Structure 1
Amino acid sequence: MFGRAEVIRDVLPYYMVDYQEQSGRDDDARWIDRLIPDGSWSGNIYDFFSKTYQKLTAGLKVPFQLKEGQRIEDTPAHEAIREALVNTLIHADYHAPKSILIIKRPDSFSFRNPGRMRISLESALHGGLSDCRNRHLQHMFQLVGFGDQAGSGVPKIFKRWASQHWVQPQLTEDLPNELTTLELRMISLVLPEVEASLTTRFGSHFKSLSEDARMALITAESEGAVSNQRLKQMTVMHPADISKLLRQLVNQGYLQSEGVGRGTLYRLAYGSSAQTADLLELSDLHTTYGIENTGVNTPDHRSSYSIPPEHSLQTTRVDTRNHRIRLHITEVTPPYHWTEQSTSPRKELADASEQTEEPLYLDWDAVPALLQGQLTVLAQPVSSRKRIDPALLQSTILALCEGRFLGPRVLAQLLNRDIGDLRKRTLTPMVHQGLLRLAYPAPNAPRQAYTSATKPPPSQERT
């Protein structure tokens, strides 16, 4: 950590630290600046860290920010570079006959240390597991405020780099030569016009999303679609968390899904820019709806959406006094929506309790994109809470099922509830009370769905 390089080599004959700044041109691999233990400075690890960090961060743009009257000179890029440099020094195998090599190029940084990783790449990316090769060095850096023993170094680097919308860092192992290399490339994933387009489409909602959610939308806009696998390449999120994020973006009306299983693609939701922002504004109504039960009806909000031919959106009303959000939708064609192929859908309908012209949706992917957004708005007062008043839950279900049959899977996803518990505690009792009507006489029919049996009472304007 301290001392002079010639003394360090008495114990570690292969000790060598090397910093190079290169032009980045393919025809010129020579360095234009270099720092090695050449006798003009101590050559120890701490001084190498201090000098190299200053060289690596020289030229990085620092936006003007104040905290408690002091300018903040640290940015996520500075944090990522500092963490990468510390990790390289504390995880290096100083007994190996290869040098530590740090390279700065105009558009990238490279950190190479001798020695293979002591945990798997997957474990390093997920974090939480620490197995440092040089614990005394790690402790010394901790004493001066750098590094930790929580195994969070690599995830922190990836997250800080992703926050700048740069391509994902590359962490690789050269097994034959026993080298580990981390590449940080400053190649932007976001073109200014892409971000401007999304801001226009989604309004202020886009900037309020998490970094990972914005990255999903940016990818869908720039590449035409996004998938679980694509986001896995760009973030450090667990695949299960990525799936959950994508479902949330679908439920919130930002994305629409295509396909099933691992092949599912997600594209930006149907509608023009102004239209999408208009629908998302409706989602803010759940704050008043769920918290301030004032009994005051909000003004009518008329949608400017470009409606697909099978739907006609007439008007939307929020009535907090009656715990009800009303979206009046006129279904034009087709009269039925089948999620499973059937050679004789009319024959299947003959078994239903009543033949109606309400559409039937058994799976979320079968629900048209625009209707998905509308139903999500209706369900938000319930889906956003774990505990809910049973009366509010029932009235929300009635609003969701008004004018259409919804299967239990659709309702469970919309309301963010367990399907078995929802069916047992709410749907079945509502059928017995005459509030809901079944699509088929047999309660356990595999294609069972529910629709409102009675129309909700009209809202009364406050006088």
Structure 2
Amino acid sequence: MPSDIKIAASELEQQVEGCDLEAKLAAGRDGRGEVPKNVYETYSAMANTDGGVILLGVREHESGRLEAVGIPDLPRVQKALWDGLNNRQQVSENILSSESVKVLDVEGNRILQVRVPRASRHQKPVHVGSNPLEGSYRRNHEGDYRCSAEDVRRMLAERVEDERDGRILVGYSLADLDAQTIAKYRQNFRAAKPDHPWNSEPDAEFLRLIGGYRRNRESGEEGVTEAGLLMFGKLAEIHEHFPHFMLDFQERAEAKTQARWIDRVTLDGTWSGNLFDFYQLAMPRLVRDLKVPFELRGDTRVDDTPVHEALREALVNTLIHADYSGRISVLVVKRPDLFGFRNPGAMRMAVDVAVQGGVSDCRNRRLQTMFRHVGLGEQAGSGLSKVYASWRLQHWRAPELADRTTPYEQTVFTLRTVSLLPETTVSGLQALLGEQFRTASEIQKLAMVTVALERKVTHARLRSMSEAHPRDITVALAALVQRGILETGGAHKRTYYYFPGQPPPDDPALGFEAAGRGETPPPPAASGMGAPAAADPSFQHGDPSFQHSDPSFQHSDPSFQHSEELMRLAAPFRAKRRMSGAEMEAGLLQLCDGRFLTVAELARLTGRSADTLRNHHLTRMVSEGKLRLQHPDQPTHPVQAYTKA
């Protein structure tokens, strides 16, 4: 049996920095130790999300501080844990290895550290008991929650279907496909492969050869595949099978979360509405006016730079990895400071594995093949790594890939066209912080610059941009907090750091607070938004990154920023990271009593995410008549606000 790992009490937090954490006393009735009944719910939730760490024999205080209490009869608890994990009546699958469970000796108090990995899609849903519809859990900011039946069915489909776009659609025929789109695709195919024998085939056979039409030899059934419909279909016919199907490209003139768009491609009925035509319309707009140096090969100018290639790869990746049964849109955003890509559907593998490259698990493999036939998309598993390499060549900030499960499963890929350490940003911080910035370590400077540019920084974000050891990053961030340069929000894996008094909006990248619910920012002539909140004048050094004019801070109550009463009412939220449902409800009703507050305002006051507030509290309280909407006729209004009924 491996020996205990001895650590100091001060090192306990560092053991789990950057991890989703659940601490449980595990004392039992006799105080000798017992596996808590809900530990398997947490095990299921972590396995079905991004993994995490369970500490048994540890008390977590309301402040978030961890205290190792210890388990007197630790071998009994350890055996009971393994017995439960290997009991199929208890949990559906044991995904732990012997290395996953370790004994930590924290200054004489022995505790169990259980590292739960992210389950593969072939293992999900990991559930408690025998019924996945009732026993599947996931993690969010508030802890474990039971998955909806829709989420469970999606995981079960992902588990058994290697490709999600190969199904034959009964009742669909070639008449449901857009003939002009097929002709354009064949023209591109002929240009890429002029001598290919498929060029002489009629459309029906050509579609069969590329995966758009299929015949089942066992049943004799044949017809258009889901891939064929998505790639070449007519919009009405696509919506019959994929009712939530939505494609949206927006070019925004300003580096703001919800800035007005100046150019847009969406499903407005003026074009076919299928994926190939969307690519043809969106790609030229993505690279239009792209300010990167061209290359010379001999005396020939080559305008197709690595950045062009990276954007092509990012757009194709978004389209071929989307789950078109999902409830949110494919969204592509072009801003002066970034390119953003979002697709419905969580990633099929962990983010770090996808970024490393070499492994491919494409959700829509027939779509992937169709794009590759016309020279679009890299070989399996190499696309993302090529995008990262192209961004490094420009000395831009590392791309950010995020996998989310709330409010709906989605993947977000953000490519910022901003230097790792922009000179104007560094100058602004030097002017503001003086010696504190000049004497900071390189990793601390990178953290401060990231907060200035992105409104927040996390342990994981710094790891993606630096080769520093994770423990060095932990120490560097802790020192910045101790000096009062940064403040923290969230806890453990979800801990983020920001400048004092300037907490970040819910999602600073693409404005998904509205778009995540199927909404989009208003067009140029239709905006009723007020003026943004004034930026801190000490940060106005010519760098737009410092001009914090995010519409998330456009408060419906003009006295919001100066209301001592609101800050007093919100104090319990900030003091207590975990609150019961009843406490949350009572506190929200107090805040909304006699005033309208938006979800962004409530998020800033309470320190909770807008998604958590909306999905777990506000929507329910409105339906129960405890809150009422400022815009009852438009429930998804971009600046919807709530007041006590």
Q: What range describes the TM-score normalised by the shorter chain of this pair?
A: 0.3 to 0.5
TM-score for both structures, normalised by structure 1: 0.42
Greater C-alpha Rg: 1
Q: Specify which structure has the bigger relative contact order, considering alpha-carbon pairs within 8 angstroms and separated by 6 or more residues.
A: 2
TM-score for both structures, normalised by structure 2: 0.31
